[in-house]
Amino acid sequence: MGSSLAEMLVGKGFRVTCLDYVRAEEAWRLYSIMDRVKYIWKSSLDITKNELRDVDIVIDCGIGVADRPLGTLSPFHATINNITPPLRLLEVVRHLKKRPVVIYPSSFNSLYGHVNKTLNESTAPSPTSIYGWTKACVELLYMTYYRAFNVPTIVVRTGSTFGPKGRSDELPHKLILYCIKGRNYFYLRSPRAKRLWTFIEDILAFYDILLNKICSGEDFAGMILHVAGNKGDRIITNMELAKMIVEITGAKITIVEGEYEPGEIVDGNPVNFKIDPSFTRSLLNWHPKYTLDEALKITVEWFKKNISRYSI
């Protein structure tokens, strides 16, 4: 999400600094705007006041270490790399004379281990995985810095993101790559668990509205917002998603049902939920524009054109 967000911000006239833990020449998702951003090769664990002086808004897109695959398999990796970078960031911000607004794009599906419950912004996290627990911890950390130190923080819970430039380990992108490359089998974990998929273009539209309101003086500090859903708010199982992708690509591939990831089964049932999106959508007048089917077709076409960038 970070590279698409940076590209959108540059296009809107923002001065953008990108802090990342890979070398600039390896950050291919930013190639189209690299000459228009200030790129700093540094982890947020090493961030200092120098990087944040005269910055108005910070979006903490998980700039520690990528969460997968170890984030779901190693409790120690997940704890260290999901909690300590935002702690460092918040500590630096609270000692600045001019404090920027700090936004934390949290998770959505990993926060909630529910079966048949309606979720909204006031629903307390109930994670059933270590990864989800770390996300909930960072949310509380953000709210603590807001209450204790008056750091203007905002938590944005994002539905499972997909779309152009997506990571190859995320389910839709990985399956699209398998289909395009003509693989015969795809091993699908948590086949009956449900997820709320949100298209990157809808997320960018959300941030466009939010950031413009912040720049015009509106105060969202201490709020939890939901940028989750698609047009019609269709929540589907992983197997349903897989069948949609296979149909769109026209691939001849067999989907093999696998085991369930930690937390995808609660009291013997796959995770399943509904959403009440009224608060955030009314507050920002934001609504998803793309249906799941429309967004998947756009994503498939992008991956076909950029297949050489990925290996599986």
What pTM, to 2 d.p., does this model score? 0.93
Contact 236, 229 (CB under 8 A): no
| pLDDT given at position 43 | 83
Fold of 2-168+197-233+275-295: Rossmann fold (3.40.50)
User: How far is C-alpha 303 from the chain's CA centre?
Assistant: 19
Residue-wise pLDDT tens digits, 10-24: 999 999 999 987 888
Residue-wise pLDDT tens digits, 27-36: 899 999 999 9
In three-state secondary structure terms, 87 is helix
CA angle 57, 63, 69 (to 5 degrees): 145
Q: Is a pLDDT exceeding 90 seen at residue 162? A: yes
In three-state secondary structure terms, 148 is helix
- Positive or negative, the CA dihedral 130, 132, 137, 141 is positive
Q: Is a pLDDT exceeding 90 seen at residue 65? A: no
Tokens at 53, concatenated = 């002086």
Tokens 């708010």 — which residue? 233
Stronger pLDDT, 208 or 273, i.e. the higher one = 208
Identify the band that residue 69 occupies on the pLDDT scale cut at 50, 70 and 90.
low
> What residues does each domain of the chain span?
2-168+197-233+275-295
